[in-house]
Amino acid sequence: MKDVIGIAWFKDELTYGKALAMFMDSKDMPASYDAWRAIVGRQCAEIKAAGNIALRVDIEPEAFADWCRVQGFKPDAVARTSFVNHVEIEYQKTGKGTIIE
């Protein structure tokens, strides 16, 4: 059985910039959207080369901030990982989600 591996995804440069402004650990993130895309591109290629499924997990800054508040998280890597894991589980239950081709 293929593993489903979620990737925190930012749809565009504006969304990435808003997310960085909100993240408490933004210094640990790639400085630019293009640098982030390059890293994610390599990760997706590795996931698919291993025969697994790369699942796009959209991070919309406002919705993510709301989710963090409800779940009791600070907007940081721990919260992003928890959110990605939540979406992975939902995908496994429902089959609904966006696969990165």
DSSP-based three-state secondary structure for 98: strand
Instruction: Quick: pLDDT tens for 18-65.
Output: 999 999 999 999 999 999 999 999 999 999 999 999 999 999 999 999
Indicate the pLDDT class of residue 78, thresholds 50, 70 and 90. Answer: very high
Q: Give the C-alpha distances (Å, rounded to integers) separating 32 from 15, 19, 45.
A: 11, 12, 20
pTM of the entire predicted model: 0.90
